[in-house]
Amino acid sequence: MRAIAFALCLSCGISAAETNVPPDAEETAYPAIERFVQVLEAVRKRHPDVDKVTYDRLVNHALEGMLASLDPHSSFIYPEMAGALQKGDVDPHLPSLGITLGLRDGGPYVAGVDTRGPGADAGLLPESGILKIDDQDVRDLPLPDLMARLTRPPGEISRLSVKSMDAPKPKDVKLTHIVVETKSLPESHLLDQAKTTGYVRLAQFGNGCAKEMEAALDDLEDQGMKSLVLDLRQNGGGNLDETVRILGLFLPPSTAVVTTIGRDGQIGEAMKTPDRQRRRRDYPIVVLVDRMSASASELTSGALQDLKRAKVIGEQSYGKGSVQNIIPMGGGTALRLTIAHYHTPSGRTPHGIGITPDVVIPFSDEDRVCFDLYRHKDSLKPEEAARLAKWKDPVMEAALKALAP
């Protein structure tokens, strides 16, 4: 048994020469891994379901649990899923449901849940197995067929039977597909209340959004804009390079805006704004955030706040500031592993904390419903349009007050 444990230690890369490891005494590795092997063999010997106790299945599920215990963004990628991702034919993310699918030997599962969306609203948990879709067993379906069954127009309902690891029984959930904003920058205009104040709503930091932002700012400035409201509410993040380019529109060239700090405080190279700036934009800026503003939204608002370039107004943001890498492993598997945390110019990280606004404005449930109606104002039913017409956005009102002369 100790020989098996020693072999496992070597395969895991445990070595006295390693310095970048947790502060466990080296000798604790052997009893810990030996305990794992003992449990593994006891399960294989005694569990009545023989088809469930192969070495591959047991070890892969153990690795799944290990990765899931670290943080919400680290995960073990099974061979079934790794193969599909390597082909690049299928994107497992379902934005209309706010979930990402995965495949493992036991069938499909919820690999991730967006910070906002029907999945989060229904309380779906990452790593939950998907047993049925609309009462049809889907445990043997390939990924493309799963995606097809869960790709539907807004307003339609998908019924899932799911089983989380800590629940004794499966549960049924109904998920209503939502409208997905495909544009990174769906809205930019001068506000009616103040013709010199511009409004830009950035829905996500998608590819090319920095050029879209620059073009929108050029247009508003040509119309006489003297101050800006940048709305990042409900923006879950996106491309980090685009984020840095957008910050370069408002900050001096070659300004350090993002750093990463990994194991043992190892600091990565700072990301800086572009070394050239076509237009100087030194007008007042207010950035709007809410509890679903995450990742790139937090880096943007945090950097502008740290450097005294903008005032942040709204709710405490979500608190996602970690860096993940995909690491190929043996047997066709892979790891999605958190390796560092992002930090704003002052050295703080939004991870697990969020960005605290300069002016905190509580947002009620009615405010959230109406803001969602506002985001989709071009496709509202008459009763929804009437409801929106009665609403006054408290965060926008605070922003205009902050920008008033």
pLDDT of 224 reads 94
Whole-number pLDDT of residue 201: 97
pLDDT at 125: 87
295 is catalytic: yes
Quick one: 96 and 201 in the same domain? no
In this structure, is residue 50 part of a structural domain? no
Q: Is 346 a catalytic residue?
A: no
Please pick, among 227, 311, 317, 320, the residue that the annotation labels catalytic.
320
Residue 116, pLDDT score: 67
57 to 67, 70, 138, 259, 331: CA distances (angstroms): 15, 21, 19, 39, 12
Give the model's pLDDT for residue 143.
81
Please say which residue of 131, 153, 176 terminates a domain. 176
Residue 89: its pLDDT value, please?
56
- State residue 15's pLDDT score: 44
Rounded to whole angstroms, the Cα distance separating 16 from 191 reads 64
Boundary residue ending a domain (114, 144, 176): 176
At residue 330, the pLDDT reads 81
Is residue 199 located within the same domain as residue 341? yes
Residues 301, 362 within the same domain? yes
Among residues 115, 143, 176, the one where a domain terminates is 176
Does residue 283 sit in the same domain as residue 325?
A: yes
Residues in the chain predicted with pLDDT less than 70, given as ranges, are 1-26, 80, 83-90, 115-116
Domain shared by 319 and 213, yes or no:
yes
The CATH number given to whatever domain includes residue 132 is: 2.30.42.10
| CA triple 94-100-102, angle to 5 deg | 125
Among candidate residues 306, 358, 367, 372, the one labeled active-site is 306
Catalytic site residue 128?
no
Element (H, E) at 378: none
Question: Residue 379: what pLDDT?
Answer: 78
* pLDDT at 19 (0 to 100): 46
**Where would I find the H helices in 105-183?**
118-121, 143-149
Range of the domain at 395: 187-403
Q: Is the dihedral of CA 308, 309, 311, 312 positive or negative?
A: negative
Distance CA 405, CA 400 (A): 10
Catalytic, out of 128, 161, 293, 295: 295
